[in-house]
Structures are given as C-alpha cells and as structure tokens.
Structure 1
Amino acid sequence: MAHDVWVRGPIGLDAASRVTRPGCRTVLAMVPTVTIGTRLVELISLLEQDLRVQVMFTVPHSVDRWAGAEEYVRGKHGLLLPWEQAVAHRFDLVLAASDQQIDQVRGPLLLIGHGVGRIPGRRFSRQAGGATVETTAIDRQSLTFRGRVLPSVLGLGTDAEVEVLRDRCPEAVPAAVVAGDICLDGMRAASGLREQYRRALGVGSRRLVVLSSTWFTDSAFGRVPTMYEAIVAALPRDRYAVAAVLHPNIWAVHGRRQVTAWLGRCQEAGLRVIPPEQGWQATMIAADWVIGDHGSTTGYAAAMGRPVTLASLPDGRPQTGSVADVVRAHAKPLDPDQPLERQEEAAIAAAPRLAAAVLPVVSTRLDCSAGILRSAMYRLLELSEPNTLAYPPSPAVPLPLPGRDA
C-alpha cells in the first residue's frame, strides 16, 4: 500500500459525502501481525453485525513491519486504512492485542492478549539481548506512555494476573477486567465439531498427531526441525495421521515458499501443514496427541485436555506462573530413543492432570469471555448492548496446504 494514498472510507471531514450508513461508531483494529489479527477477528465478531458500528483495520508500522499482516486483513475482506491515515483520526473504539504502537492511536483503547496467558513462557524478551529482568505483557513499559495508562480497558485472563499487574503496573489496575480467554472459550464451544474437523483433515479413524511450534530459535521447529520427517516416517500411516501447526511469525520471517520447501518431503510422506491464517484451533480440537513446545498452541491443546509431549523448551526453565511452566511440570519431554507409541500412552495418562492444572492459569472466567468483552466494548462505544447472548466464534474448518507449487 502506498503510504501517501488515503482510503476514501467512512472517516474524515468529507465522509458524509460518500457513506451509505451515516452516524456509525467507528472501531479501529490494529493488526501488526497475523497472530494478532486472528485474535482481533474473534473479538470483532462480537460487534461487527451491529448496524450502528463500522469496523476498520490498520497495520501499524514505523520503519518496518511483519510480512503477511496486510495480506491477512485483505484476505478477511477488512477495510484497511494506511497507518498514516489511522493515526490522523480519532476513533470511538480502538482494539489491540499487543502493545505495539498503541501510544500513537487516538480513542478509547481495549487491549487484550494474543496468546495463552499474559505471562509468557520465555522469561526474557526475544528483543532484549542479555536481559536479566523477567518480562510480562502487563509491565509498566507496555501499558503506559509518559505517565499515562494507555488502555481504557485491559482484558486479563485470570484473577492471578490482576495481582501481577498490581505489582508490575499498579496504576493500570483500575482499567483491568478479568475476561477469561475468548480463543479457549471458542475452542471449548466447538468441541462438538471434532468429527467435522477430522473429516476436513482426512484423518478417518486414525489417530491424529499434531506437531506444534512457536517461533524463534528455541522453538520446536527451531531446535528439532528433523523431528517432523522422523515422526512422519516412524508412525504407521494406516493408524496415524500427522499435522503441523507453525507459528505465523515463522511464515512471516522465512516466507511461505521456503517453509513449505523445508516441509516438502514431509508433505509428500503425508504431513498435513496447516496454514498460518486459520485452522490451528480446529486442528487442536481434532488432535489425539500434541507434540509441542512452550508456545500458545501447545498450551491451548493442554487446556482442551489433549495429551501433550514436549519437544522443546526455552533456554532455562519457563517463567514461573506461565502456562508453559505448568505444561512443563506435567508433560514429559520427547525421547528420540523410546518408541513413540509408549510416549503417547504416557501423555494420555497425564492429560487429565495436565488440563486441570492448566485451565485456571489460562482463564478464571471459563465460557464467559464473549459476554464480558462485548459489554466492555459497548461501554467504551457508549452504545446500548444488544439483548442477545454473546458467543465466541467457532474455529474455522482446517484446510491443509497443498504440496509445493512448481
């Protein structure tokens, strides 16, 4: 998108000369990455059908940006504003799932997380080099600018996170709302669609093993990339199907052609590669066993009661209080010298205890997030809330990527 070309959309001094629905409250969703976009689309589903509301999107940037974010918004057919146009306008509501450049937008801000829990599995920021101070997503440097608390509403998953906030940024506590986790609630509500998801994946009666990886060098795909080919080769195809879920940042940094090339032989051997835009939630619902790392997808699988084995962990122990730390305490590491079937049995036996331990770390408002978040958004919009029940959206049907293009 050319940065100097503004969209003739429903905002601006001359908007009245072109809109068909006048007087709508304006909502801006900030989508710096595909991961954040997928979370905000879940949130937007709670209000975008309202005839009083107009939703727009923007991709924040300064000197650089993550690849794929604009394509994601366009693929969802969202009205995409250039960043320069977005920061020049005041909105009735701004939605964000990351602290990236939230100080530059204008309007009441609702900030939620984009992963499982607000305490990350990694103790230190990936950008911090030799940092020695642990970081969370609710530290003062993330939530304030020049002494001002940025979010009008800060959505948290658990009551324990409020106490972390009280320690890390006490001035933001009045903005905190414990809302649970809309992604987990959507997955729980869609559990009855498990067989539909399995049919879409072509699993049949076989057991589905999902290989899950976050991004960065300490992830499963970063540390043990040969695991994918090894597991596909080791499991008999008449009894097992294997799928791979890779963090969208892997695709953004390395490019779709390169990632699919790296997994090309595995695909030829039967690996189902889930695209970064959608499908991972449904794939986790369909799974019988998840081999993952400290990333959010593994944490959500554990919360859903799926058996989990760990292929990788961040350097040192995961951060205390994080979902990754709880998963580490209850899930065994993958042992390349032991038969996979035996390790699967151990994961199955540990799954109920794992889920019971993980759930309260992800959400203390189970199955309530849609209602809580919708109420918060309508309060900020100064609109009466619809008198219908609020439901999280159902995860999209998973469509594995085809083999490599010629």
Structure 2
Amino acid sequence: MDGQAWVRGPVGVDAAKRVTMAGCRSVLVMVPTMTAGTRLSEVVPLLEADHRIQLIYTVPGAMERWHGLDEYVHGLGAMVLPWGQAMRERYDLVLTASHREIEHVRGKVMVLPHGVGNAMSRRYSRKAGGATRATTGLDREVLTYRGRVIPSAIMLSHEAELAILRTRCPEAAHTAVVAGDICLDRMVASRRFRDGYREALGVREGECLVTISSTWGTESTFGQHFELYQRLSKQGCKVAAVLHPNITAAHGRAAVRGWLGDCIRAGLTVIPPDRGWQAAMVASDLVIGDHGSSTMYAAASGTPTIIATDPPPLWPDSPADVLMRNTPRLDHGAKLWPQLTKAMAEHSGPDAELARVITGRPGEAAAILRSTMYWLLGLAEPTRALPMNPVPVPWTS
C-alpha cells in the first residue's frame, strides 16, 4: 500500500450509490513520470468530452516517487486514486506511456511511447546502470509478465518498429497498431500560430528567439554544456530553456532555477516542462539541442536546429541517429553567434528524412489513437469532429 487514504470515487464498492453519471466506462491513466503524463495529455482530449467515459488517474509505485509528480497530477484537477486503491480495481481501458507497473493493473492496457518512438534511440538502457546488452522499448522483458503479454494494444510510430517488435517480442506482434506520432502532428499543425506563441513568449518584432533544448542525464545539453545558457544570455537575443522534466525531478526545481539564476536575471525564460515546450520550439528562430526528443521534434517540424553535444551510443538509423547525421554541430571553441546565424541562414525547411523515421502516419495519429481506444472500450466512436488542438501557449516562469 502507498499509505494514502482511499478515495470515494466512481469505482469500487458502493460506487453506484455515489455517482451521478451512471454506466460510464472507466479509463485509468497511469502517470509514473511527468514525461509520460505530458504525452498522455495529448491523448486524453480524444476521450474527455464523452459522457460515457470516466477518466481516473493514478501515480504508480508504492515506495518511490519522482519529485513534484504528485503535485503535477493533482494539479490536473482529475479524479486521482492512490496506487494501492488503483491496483484493486478493474478498468475498461488503461492508458500508459511507460512500462512501469503495468503488470499490476487490471484491464485492457494500451501502451504509447513517451517520446519519439518505442524502439528508443539509445542502444543501452541507462536504467540498467552499465548495461552491456542493447535494448529497446519493444523487448519481451518489458511487454510480458510470467509468460503473459501485458498490452492489449501497443501503439507504434512506424512500420520499422513493427519489424523490431516481431523480432524482440513476436508473441506481442498481434497487439501492434501503427499510429504515427501525435506530438509531431500537433507541432506541424500549430506552425500557423507561430506569431501568437512568439508574442506569448515576449519576443519583440525583429527579435531572434533561441531555445536551448535538453534531455536529461550527463550526456544532455544541460549536463555537458551548462555554460551555453550563460553564453547565450550575453548575445542580445531572446533565450528560452526547455528542460526535460527529469532534470527538475532529480535535482529539484529550486536547485535548477538557482543554477540558472544569473541567466534568468539576464532574461532567460524557463519553459515549464508540463506546458509550452512544443510552442517554444515552434516559436523559435533556432534550437540548440542534443539527442533528446524535443530537439528531434524541433528539427522535424521545421525549426532550424544545431547540435551542441556528443550523444551516447545510438541505434543505427534511429531518429536520434538521423538527427545527428543531418544537423550541424556547434563548435564550442569558436565564436557562438556567427555559427547560429549561419545555421539559420542555411536552413532549408523541415528535416524530411527525420520526419519520415519519426512517423509512418503523418497527420493521422489522433484518428488512429481514438479509433483504437474506442475499439478497446467496446464503444461506438463519436461522430463529433476529431479534436486536433494546437499545442498550448507557453506558461513562462
């Protein structure tokens, strides 16, 4: 048990005596990390307007939590069950963008990637600590439990992932659905709102916005080249920072903002990890980044991009590998601004090759995701128009 008081909610003993809307299908949204939560926040709107469906959230895990995660989930205003209670119930559908704890829930589990793709770009898992065997997010060890395939649907980004699944966990291949990438679809569709995003970020007419994008870990922009935040803040351009949620989850928001304090006082805008990073990428004149998903999305959706880091070992022809091959590198020993202006001047549009390896169903992800969820729920899909909401305007801090 997780020590939290159980909630008198729409499931469990005597639930029928408490509810006002009767007969709803229950959908459990599992949020073990903020990264998973932000990806699921792109999928939940495909269901939330349907009065036949009750959404319920939980933070999996009894003994460990990422810093700030409970506050994030409760801040959504959703029905949140403690993990101990959530494990006791059965659901019509379980949504997750992680493999954590999925063997402990009861219901049809739909697994989505929490970033670019399921196969992952890193050859070796950092979770394993010194792993010597190459892994993917489609391996038998994460998709099965005691010989049982856990997911009822594995949402793949590309046909290439289906080939990987058939090799790494063939018994789960029948659950695969090639759905594309909803995050990239939304960013591409949101480019027409670019001027509004720039205004929300305080970018003046004629001013250049440069965003520093960082994944987490020691191979990230933040971990390898923290001095970039200081150097850019002296260049006379508008500067924003997009930080992977695990940076603040591992170090604490106060520590991260303390380290960046001088830059913030010089004008750096730190984009909250749960709202606004996509809009910042769309609004930017240039993104400086690493091998992480946010940098890939920037380049694939059309923003000039330059790479600032040396990546870890990557799978050949993975999205991160394509990003590294196609994107100019920053020379940290040379003057900064001439390199940035050169990258912007030579930019010729979205990285089409990168976009092709990120999604095999461009523009179709929302439709495929919604139809799959309603099929799993056993409900007729609504006739209302499919919501393809633009990415949200950034909150700045």
Please give the TM-score of this superposition, normalised by the length of structure 2: 0.96
Structure-2 separation of matches of 1:355 and 1:331: 9
Residue 323 of structure 1: aligned partner: 319
Which of 270, 275, 279 pairs up with 1:282?
279
Does residue 359 (structure 1) correspond to residue 355 (structure 2)? The answer is yes
Structure-2 separation of matches of 1:137 and 1:353: 30
- Give the SS at the match of 1:32: coil
Q: What are the within-5 Å matches in structure 2 for residues 154-173 of structure 1?
A: 154-173=154-173
Structure-1 separation of matches of 2:260 and 2:60: 31
Q: CA deviation at 1:318?
A: 2.2
Indicate how the Cα distance of structure 1 residues 349 and 136 shifts in structure 2: closer, same or farther if over 3 A, else same: farther
Does residue 59 (structure 1) correspond to residue 56 (structure 2)? The answer is no
Q: CA deviation at 1:168?
A: 1.0
Which of 340, 343, 347 pairs up with 1:344?
340
Residue 214 of structure 1: aligned partner: 215
Structure-2 separation of matches of 1:2 and 1:83: 6
8 A Cα contact 1:307 1:344, kept in partner:
no
Does residue 291 (structure 1) correspond to residue 284 (structure 2)? The answer is no
Q: CA deviation at 1:224?
A: 1.0
Q: Which amino acid aligns with 2:226?
A: P
**What is the aligned length?**
396
Q: CA deviation at 1:350?
A: 5.7
- Give the SS at the match of 2:383: coil
Residue 392 of structure 1: aligned partner: 388
Q: Which amino acid aligns with 2:161?
A: E
Residue 32 of structure 1: aligned partner: 32
Structure-2 separation of matches of 1:287 and 1:325: 23
| Structure 2: segments with no counterpart, 5+ residues | none
Structure-1 separation of matches of 2:327 and 2:240: 20
- Give the SS at the match of 2:233: helix
Q: CA deviation at 1:340?
A: 2.9
Q: CA deviation at 1:388?
A: 2.3
Q: CA deviation at 1:302?
A: 0.8
Residue 129 of structure 2: aligned partner: 129
8 A Cα contact 1:331 1:350, kept in partner:
no
Q: Which moved more, 1:344-353 or 1:131-140?
A: 344-353
Structure-2 separation of matches of 1:191 and 1:94: 32
Percent identity of the aligned residues?
Answer: 51
8 A Cα contact 1:334 1:343, kept in partner:
yes
Q: What are the within-5 Å matches in structure 2 for residues 305-320 of structure 1?
A: 305-315=302-312, 317-320=313-316
8 A Cα contact 1:33 1:68, kept in partner:
no
Please give the TM-score of this superposition, normalised by the length of structure 1: 0.94
- Give the SS at the match of 1:142: helix
Q: Which amino acid aligns with 1:29?
A: V
Residue 244 of structure 1: aligned partner: 241
Structure-2 separation of matches of 1:373 and 1:72: 24
Does residue 265 (structure 1) correspond to residue 265 (structure 2)? The answer is no
Residue 254 of structure 1: aligned partner: 251
- Give the SS at the match of 1:173: helix
Q: CA deviation at 1:354?
A: 6.2
Structure-1 separation of matches of 2:201 and 2:350: 26
Structure-1 separation of matches of 2:393 and 2:349: 29
Structure-2 separation of matches of 1:59 and 1:278: 19
Moved over 6 A (4+): none
Residue 371 of structure 2: aligned partner: 375
Q: Which amino acid aligns with 2:338?
A: R
Q: CA deviation at 1:352?
A: 3.8
Structure-2 separation of matches of 1:276 and 1:37: 11
Indicate how the Cα distance of structure 1 residues 351 and 359 shifts in structure 2: closer, same or farther if over 3 A, else same: farther
Structure-2 separation of matches of 1:116 and 1:349: 27
RMSD value, Cα: 1.5
Q: CA deviation at 1:121?
A: 2.8
Q: CA deviation at 1:2?
A: 6.6
8 A Cα contact 2:301 2:350, kept in partner:
no
Q: Which amino acid aligns with 1:97?
A: A
Indicate how the Cα distance of structure 1 residues 2 and 168 shifts in structure 2: closer, same or farther if over 3 A, else same: closer
8 A Cα contact 1:211 1:291, kept in partner:
yes
